[in-house]
Amino acid sequence: MHRWPIPDLPDGCELWLKRDDLTGLQLSGNKVRKLEFLIADAKEKGCDSVITIGGIQSNHCRATAVAARYAGLDTYLILRTSKELVEEDPGLVGNLLVERLVGCHIELVTKQEYVALGSEALGQNLLERLRRQGRNPYLIPVGGSNSLGTWGYLQGMEEVSQQLNASLGPGHLDDVVVACGSGGTTAGIALGVHLSDIKARVHAYGVCDSPEYFYNYMNGILRGLGSDLDSRTLVECKQAKGRGYAENTEEELKVMQETALQTGVVLDPVYSGKALHGLLKASPAAMHPPGASPGTIPFLAPP
């Protein structure tokens, strides 16, 4: 965690950056904390492979593929693409190169199929097909976002608390800001802050879907953890998807470019870039009651 000197912050406001892009797995991010628990569960259950699903350039799918290979497991990916490209070889661009280097089995589905059937049904269909072939696969949901994966960020917030207590960050935190794409990371952060001595307000900037969707999804995760807390009391979800998932406005791209030029931190345009744009557009001071100091804010990035 280090201080992040973003220009033009309100007087009295400090922004700190929790570098979960440096968690140790190749091209890593927040997915690694979840996968630590999910891959361990797959190994404990004697599985020989994992299945997961995402977009054609999904960071989660790439991280899953690498983590599974580290653990000696094969990976089957269901990747969502356009109707025009679904019958073509997906190539070796971006995350696909990493996935193919570690030996992934890749199946493509159209966006229309994904919407019609849903990620759970697509994953379950492949699971059953592989079992009929004699394999023992483990199904990981989109983004690794389930109750077990959420433990990654319960542990992550314990780590933040330890850093604060060891004077490895600011003296205290007033707010925590995070990008929200599937809800699992946000649920873990929100519950982790609530259970720790951090006691900060949590703000999640959604890059897809609606705040109401995320509140309901996170409530499901909380029930799976045995908690009857309402996510609305733990986190404030804000809309930051702009034009849509993985689509950027010129203003968002400008914020990312200026941030890279002025601070050396390169943000992801799908998640953390949109979240920072949303934070700066609203102004950190707007997160506080009238007359209150803007305070100290950690930004958890990138997914």
Residues 6+ apart with CB under 8 A from 246: 55, 269, 270
- Which residue among 58, 119, 147, 231 is the active-site one? 58
28 is catalytic: no
**In contact, 180 and 188? CB cutoff 8 Å:** no
| Tally of residues, the chain | 303
- Residue 143's alpha-carbon distances to 63, 152, 186, 251, in angstroms, are 10, 12, 12, 27
**In contact, 284 and 200? CB cutoff 8 Å:** no
**In contact, 186 and 214? CB cutoff 8 Å:** yes
- Residue 95's alpha-carbon distances to 41, 56, 73, in angstroms, are 25, 8, 18
DSSP designation for 247: B
Q: Dihedral sign for Cα 40, 132, 86, 115, please.
A: negative
Ramachandran angles phi, psi of 156, nearest 5°:
-60, -40
Nearest to 52 by CA among 146, 147, 141, 150: 141
**Where in the sequence numbering do the catalytic residues fall?**
58
